[in-house]
Structure 1
Amino acid sequence: VRGTAVRQATVVRVCATPTHLWVRFDCADSDPWATLTNHDDPIYTEEVVELFIAAGSETPKRYLELEVNPLNVRFDGIIHNPDEIRATLTLDTTWDPDWSSWVDIDPAGWSCVMSLPWSSLGGTDGIGTWRLNFFRIDRPRDGTPSEESSWSPTFRDPADFHIPSRFGVLRIKR
C-alpha cells in the first residue's frame, strides 16, 4: 500500500476465459489464521486477500469488493466511493454474486483461487478494460504490526485500500 517491501510476499496471477475471471493469490505466511466463519463477516479485520474491480477505463465511483480468508470464508459487496473520502464511502453487502473460491494451507503459507463469472462482475465475456487492484492483509497473531500490501500502491498512511484513482488497468482482448 505504501510502496515498500513486505515481510511475507504475495504473488497474484490472473487468467481470463470467455466466461470467468480467475485470480490466484499465493501468500507466504508463517501462521495463516482466521476466526470469522460466516459469509460477509468483516473478514478484513483478520488475514485476508481482496480484489476490487470495476468495468471501464475511468476511475470508478462504484466498484466491487471480493475477499477470502484462510478459512475460505467470502465477503462481497458493492462500494460507492464518489470522492475517495472514507467518511462518505458506502458499502452494500446485500449483493451476493455467483462466484467460487478455494483455499489451500501448507507449510509455506496459504493460497486462494477465486473464480468470478463475468456476468457477476458486470460484463458478458470480459473483453474490454477493467480497473482493479489486489490487496492482502497479513495480520500476525503475535502482536507484530499488520502489513497491508497491494498490486498498485495507494500511498496512504494509515493504509487505505479504497483509493480507486490508484487502481491498475487490466485490458482483455481475444
Structure 2
Amino acid sequence: MSDNDETVVEISVPESEVSARADAVLDWLLAIGVVVPNPSPGPAYLPGPEAASRTTTETVIDLLWNTGVTVITDRMVFDSAQNVTPPDCPACTVRLGIDHYIDQMTPWLLSGEPTVGCPACGHAALLGDWPGTWTCQVGNLGVRFTNWPPLRDDFVGELGRRIGPRWRVVRAHR
C-alpha cells in the first residue's frame, strides 16, 4: 500500500521563530477540532471531529495505521517522492530541467535558497518562487497530513497564512 502526504511548508521562517510558530499552528488546529492528540504510537495527531470538513470530500477519514498529522520543526527537503517534477519559470512557464533542479536541493538545504535563472528567457528568481504541483521545498517548519483526502483550498490558505508569509504545499505519493 502507498501513502499520500500533503505538507504545508514555510520556506523562510527564521530558526528562532520555528518553535513559537509551530506551537501557535498546533494550538489552532487543536482549537478548531481538526486534530486530536494520538494516544497510540504513530503520528502525533489524529483527525479530529472537524477534520472531514476541511477536506474536499467531507466524508469520514479512513484511519490507516499512519493516518494523521505531524508538525515538523527540523530543516529538511520536503520532497514529492516518486512524483517530483521540476517547477516552471514564473515568467515564461518553461520547465526547469530535472537534473539542474535536483542539484539545487543540497545547496538550498545547507546554505540558503538559491536564485535560479531560466534557461529559456533568462528570468531569475528564488527557487521557492518557481511554481509547480509536484515540487520540492526546503524549510524548517511543516505541517504534514498523511493519508487524508485532499485538503480544501480555503483551509490550506488559512493554515499557510498562520505558518508564515512564504508557505508552499508539497504533495507526495510514497
TM-score by length of 2: 0.24
- Which structure carries more strand by proportion? 1
Please give the TM-score of this superposition, normalised by the length of structure 1: 0.24
Greater C-alpha radius of gyration: 2
Q: Which has the higher contact order (CA 8 A, sep 6+)?
A: 2
Greater helix content: 2
